[in-house]
Amino acid sequence: MTDRHPDDGPPVRDQERNLDPSNLESERYQYARRFEDLLAEDDDDALSQLARELSPADLSEILRPFSAEDTVRVLRQLAPEPLADVLAEIDARSTTAFFLLLDHDEIADILEEMPSDEATDVIAELDEQAQQAVLEAMEAEDAQDVAELLRYPPESAGGLMGKEVLSCRDEQTCGEAVAALRQYDQDELAEMHYVYVVDDREHLVGRVPLFRLLLTAPEAVIATIMETDPLYVEVDLDQEEVAQYMMTHDLTNLPVLDHRQRLVGLITVDDVMDVMEDEATEDISRMAGVSVEEFGEQSPARVARSRLPWLLGGLAGQVGAIMVLRHFEQSLASMVALSFFIPVIMAMAGNVGIQTSSVVVRGLATGEVDYFHLGRHVLRELATSLMVGAVIGGCLFLVCGVIVGDLHLAWVLAVAMLLVIVFAAVVGTGTPLLLHRAGADPAVATGPFITTANDIFGLLIYLGLATVMLSLGGAAS
Amino acid sequence: MTDRHPDDGPPVRDQERNLDPSNLESERYQYARRFEDLLAEDDDDALSQLARELSPADLSEILRPFSAEDTVRVLRQLAPEPLADVLAEIDARSTTAFFLLLDHDEIADILEEMPSDEATDVIAELDEQAQQAVLEAMEAEDAQDVAELLRYPPESAGGLMGKEVLSCRDEQTCGEAVAALRQYDQDELAEMHYVYVVDDREHLVGRVPLFRLLLTAPEAVIATIMETDPLYVEVDLDQEEVAQYMMTHDLTNLPVLDHRQRLVGLITVDDVMDVMEDEATEDISRMAGVSVEEFGEQSPARVARSRLPWLLGGLAGQVGAIMVLRHFEQSLASMVALSFFIPVIMAMAGNVGIQTSSVVVRGLATGEVDYFHLGRHVLRELATSLMVGAVIGGCLFLVCGVIVGDLHLAWVLAVAMLLVIVFAAVVGTGTPLLLHRAGADPAVATGPFITTANDIFGLLIYLGLATVMLSLGGAAS
């Protein structure tokens, strides 16, 4: 099943454990099914064999949709080294559940196998007392790195970085720098592509790409061959800005400095890719009115509890819409056809609000929209919405003319639709821009909040206009 | 202004051109303002000086919100080398506009400065005749690489990869492999961290990390020190799957093979980060009912044209809602209060639909949701929605009791709300899963489509239930 190329695969591949990237989903599904069967049969030997057959990366992906309990049963079959790699990738709930089965020494042994940043993420899931006990059980050097990383906020550059970084002094020679590389574990070296250069005060002054060490005579002094003025970030920079910075400059390694400009760690691009995926999930969640926590959650009760606040907020907002309609009770009673078009007015206001706000939210996230030019964006949306409103209003005029056959009502609808669309576009564009300027996350505004505001004002515009234009006998209740 | 650390910055940084990452947005804004002023003053000398002061990466970010015309005026001030870097990053419209000012030889000179994958992206914006002319003006070797890359679909592994890849034969020695590195440009080497090993049939058989070349004696044979069975993808794999694959395995370099297993190119992680950002933008766009093309678009008429199809589709769907209400005209006429609750029923159906569908869409994108277990997800959502529906229905009962004071209507509302929420959750969960299974993009289903379906069925459930439970004299029109 894992044999990708039965006919023309090169013969040197004696053992094939990587899944076929062109058929990944179905290969993973077949493995997932086999795991499910073995879990049901309680066949630990076969489970162990199957788990060892896969690379840690594939195994962690296959286990994603599994419950914490089932994940733990698979993890128990693994040796410490692949186990460390899998634990670094799977979700926090499964890790926590797994660690409940182990004593502190066993946890410490696993964490020592991990890069310091991943060990920190894992240990952060434990309570403070357990953290202390595990740190005491770890080797002093590893424990010191992890203890330092635990002090940084998880969403900062300090929380992302690892302590593993190649560095040398500016006055050393290339030969000395290469000799120093031999101290490192080969796995650790795999992600590091530069030797960072510090001066006698431990300040970062340059970097040397590994290929340059290869091509330079051993006696050359580092200071003469290094690239000066390397890009860096400080420990307290927000992770989203770190990700944008690495992406803008196409960096795979980014050194992190403390407030005294001393080199304290290194961020690698794989950490940043996880940040980008998480941030996109966060934006989508906020637009849709769900909590990030519910991703991967299995219990319907917990999912319901995480969704209810958004819905109850929406319900509270809709009480406003109920009050608007009650206010226009007399108009609605004297012309039932008015109520036929409530859904279309609301839906169009909602659609335009979501379109405009998500363009702004995404544009702010990617740098496409510049929030300092607030007025310019709002003006551009105003022009766009006038055109859109005229077209949709015209279509609604025709729809009403054909279905209800009342041209007066059709006029009211067309004008109301135009006004509602312009209003929704301005609210949808302006709200996230104002929020961003005020330092809040603009994505919060998108979705439920803007939709509710547009619903209420849309109904006010529509029914107010209808009552006045069709002389439906005053709106007083 | 660009001096980050006036007090404690290391003195070796004689020339500071990198923007401060902790204050990026405001620094970029200040540069943008200065560019705007200079563009207004038509001061080409100052414009040129300012553009040269910035790194290409920062300059391309600062120019993002600028119009194509203004961008071109800045680009004209640049020397070929930074220009090539900026062109690789800015949007296609500006590139096309800029190239209209140049003849084919000038374009060819710029493209020769670029990595082959970026040169291909840029040349792909030209029409076919211009492409041919530019390719003929380029140096033969560069032209051949670009012409080959142009043949691959832009969203495939072949479209992402560059032709720049370090390779050697398995029977060469380390010393020979290092000597071969000297042929490459230092800029090209910066992104390459492995030497890929091929056998006499050009089949990929291994890879050697650069650090291992550093630590190995020059006379060692490559085949004895290489890592065998390296991960790879084939040229026609979709770019989204390439991105997921690199992310799962934390790769910075991924070799690309043709159908005969020969090494034909290399994908670097910076390309994949762009793909991830684009795919997230695409998902958000589809959820919100906007086209990806409108990002960065300046003309309101073009934006309006790209948004109208979604809105007209929504309008067509809402005609269904109008027909439903017309069908229940008699019920609405005999009880005006019924219409007060149309917005809240619709809004809740919409919110639940967006919540459930975006959780599925995002889960499918990240691998959190496994689409083979369709039934399990729908069952879980059913349980969740029963709880959510009971709570929201209960609240609506209270709201109706207090505002309208009609307990019969309150009962109808509570039951209708529960049913509508359960229905919306099942549709919101099931539709993207079914679409995904059928090979379509599940994100298309989210947003306008699901909302419209939920609106119509929500109204049918609510008004049908009210007509029956409150004996509002038949729904026949």
Q: In the structure encoding, which two tokens stand for residue B243, read together?
A: 């991105």
Coil, helix or strand for A105? Answer: helix
A253-275 in b/e form (b: 16+ CB < 10 A) is bbbbbeeebebbbbbbbbbbbbb
pTM for the structure as a whole: 0.82
Chain B neighbors of A362, CB-CB under 8 A: 281, 284-285, 295
User: From the list B65, B232, B315, which residue is nearest A369 (CB)?
Assistant: B65
**What CA–CA distances, in Å, run from B104 to B71, B91, B100, B117, B123?**
20, 20, 10, 19, 11
pLDDT of residue B76: 86
Q: What is the mean pLDDT of residues A128-151?
A: 93
| A251 contact partners, CB below 8 Å, separation of at least 6 | A231, A245, A269
Q: How far apart are CA A60 and CA A98, in angstroms?
A: 14
- Do residue B296 and residue A452 have CB atoms under 8 angstroms apart? no
Which has more confidence, A166 or B20?
A166
Q: In the structure encoding, which two tokens stand for residue B448, read together?
A: 């306008």
pLDDT of residue A476: 43
- Do residue A10 and residue B204 have CB atoms under 8 angstroms apart? yes
Amino acid letter, B8: D
Q: In the structure encoding, which two tokens stand for residue A439, read together?
A: 């330092």
Residue-wise pLDDT tens digits, A236-267? 999 988 998 898 888 889 999 999 989 999 99
Task: Please state whether beta strands A253-257 and A263-268 pair in parallel, antiparallel, or not at all (unpaired).
Answer: antiparallel
- Please determine, for residue B115, whether its predicted confidence score (pLDDT) is greater than 50: yes
pLDDT band at residue A200, thresholds of 50, 70 and 90?
A: very high
Checking ipTM against 0.90, whether it exceeds it is no
- Do residue B295 and residue A359 have CB atoms under 8 angstroms apart? yes
pLDDT of residue B305: 85
User: From the list B21, B237, B312, which residue is nearest A22 (CB)?
Assistant: B237
- Furthest-apart CA atoms within chain A: distance in Å: 96
Residue-wise pLDDT tens digits, A55-108? 888 888 888 878 788 888 888 888 877 888 888 888 777 888 888 888 888 889
| B19 contact partners, CB below 8 Å, separation of at least 6 | B2, B27, B28, B31, B54, B58
pLDDT band at residue A224, thresholds of 50, 70 and 90?
A: very high
Residue-wise pLDDT tens digits, B143-200? 999 999 999 998 999 999 999 999 999 999 999 999 888 888 777 787 788 999 999 9
- Do residue A344 and residue B318 have CB atoms under 8 angstroms apart? yes
**What CA–CA distances, in Å, run from A372 to A168, A433, B25, B29, B149?**
42, 9, 9, 7, 39
Share of chain B above pLDDT 70, in %: 92
- Do residue A290 and residue B359 have CB atoms under 8 angstroms apart? yes
- Do residue B355 and residue A288 have CB atoms under 8 angstroms apart? yes
Which has more confidence, A403 or A414?
A414
- The answer to whether the CB of A260 falls within 8 A of the CB of A254 is no
**What's CA A33's distance to the chain center, in Å?**
28
- Domains with residue ranges and CATH for chain A: 22-160 (1.25.60.10), 167-288 (3.10.580.10), 312-469 (1.10.357.20)
Chain A neighbors of B273, CB-CB under 8 A: 246-247, 269, 272-273, 276
Give chain A's mean pLDDT.
85
Chain A neighbors of B362, CB-CB under 8 A: 281, 284-285, 295
Chain B neighbors of A201, CB-CB under 8 A: 10
- Do residue B289 and residue A354 have CB atoms under 8 angstroms apart? yes
In total, the C-beta contacts within 8 angstroms joining chain A to chain B are: 429
User: From the list B241, B343, B358, which residue is nearest A284 (CB)?
Assistant: B358
Chain position carrying tokens 């920079």: A237
- Please determine, for residue B8, whether its predicted confidence score (pLDDT) is greater than 50: no
Closest residue, chain A, to B22 (C-alpha): A237
Chain A neighbors of B199, CB-CB under 8 A: 10, 12
Chain B neighbors of A368, CB-CB under 8 A: 64-65, 295-296
- Do residue A373 and residue B244 have CB atoms under 8 angstroms apart? no
pLDDT band at residue B14, thresholds of 50, 70 and 90?
A: very low
Closest residue, chain B, to A339 (C-alpha): B339
Closest residue, chain B, to A262 (C-alpha): B10
Q: Residue B267 forms beta bridges with which residues?
A: B254
pLDDT of residue A8: 37
Q: In the structure encoding, which two tokens stand for residue A36, read together?
A: 């499910």
- The answer to whether the CB of B269 falls within 8 A of the CB of A269 is yes
Crossing angle for the helix pair A269-288 and A239-248, nearest 10 degrees? 120
- Please determine, for residue B365, whether its predicted confidence score (pLDDT) is greater than 80: no
- The answer to whether the CB of A475 falls within 8 A of the CB of A327 is yes
Coil, helix or strand for A154? Answer: coil
What is the CA angle B331-B335-B464, rounded to 5? 35
pLDDT of residue A372: 62
Q: How far apart are CA A343 and CA B358, in angstroms?
A: 23
- Do residue B455 and residue A343 have CB atoms under 8 angstroms apart? yes
pLDDT of residue A190: 79
pLDDT band at residue B9, thresholds of 50, 70 and 90?
A: very low
Q: What is the mean pLDDT of residues B37-49?
A: 89
pLDDT of residue B222: 95
User: From the list B199, B248, B392, which residue is nearest A10 (CB)?
Assistant: B199
- Do residue B315 and residue A287 have CB atoms under 8 angstroms apart? no
- Do residue A283 and residue B287 have CB atoms under 8 angstroms apart? no
Q: What is the mean pLDDT of residues A381-385?
A: 91
| A2–chain B nearest CA distance, Å | 13
| B193–chain A nearest CA distance, Å | 7
pLDDT band at residue B15, thresholds of 50, 70 and 90?
A: very low
- Do residue B280 and residue A283 have CB atoms under 8 angstroms apart? yes
User: From the list B211, B294, B346, which residue is nearest A343 (CB)?
Assistant: B346
- Please determine, for residue A393, whether its predicted confidence score (pLDDT) is greater than 50: yes
| B333–chain A nearest CA distance, Å | 6
- Do residue B276 and residue A276 have CB atoms under 8 angstroms apart? yes
- Do residue A322 and residue B399 have CB atoms under 8 angstroms apart? yes
pLDDT of residue A7: 39
Chain B neighbors of A162, CB-CB under 8 A: none
Chain B neighbors of A273, CB-CB under 8 A: 246-247, 269, 272-273, 276
Q: What is the mean pLDDT of residues B118-122?
A: 89
Interface test with A, best of B3, B311, B386 (most A CBs within 10 A): B311
- Do residue A395 and residue B233 have CB atoms under 8 angstroms apart? no
Q: How far apart are CA A400 and CA B180, in angstroms?
A: 75
Q: Which helix (H) or strand (E) holds A179?
A: helix A174-181
- Do residue B270 and residue A285 have CB atoms under 8 angstroms apart? no
What is the CA angle B334-B336-B342, rounded to 5? 120
Residue-wise pLDDT tens digits, B280-308? 888 778 777 777 777 666 688 888 888 88
pLDDT of residue A11: 35
- Do residue A249 and residue B55 have CB atoms under 8 angstroms apart? yes
Q: How far apart are CA B225 and CA A3, in angstroms?
A: 25
pLDDT of residue B250: 86
- Please determine, for residue B445, whether its predicted confidence score (pLDDT) is greater than 80: no
pLDDT of residue A447: 66
Q: How far apart are CA B225 and CA A282, in angstroms?
A: 44
Q: How far apart are CA A231 and CA B214, in angstroms?
A: 25
Q: Residue B223 forms beta bridges with which residues?
A: none
Interface test with A, best of B91, B254, B341, B362 (most A CBs within 10 A): B362
| A133–chain B nearest CA distance, Å | 31
| A362–chain B nearest CA distance, Å | 7
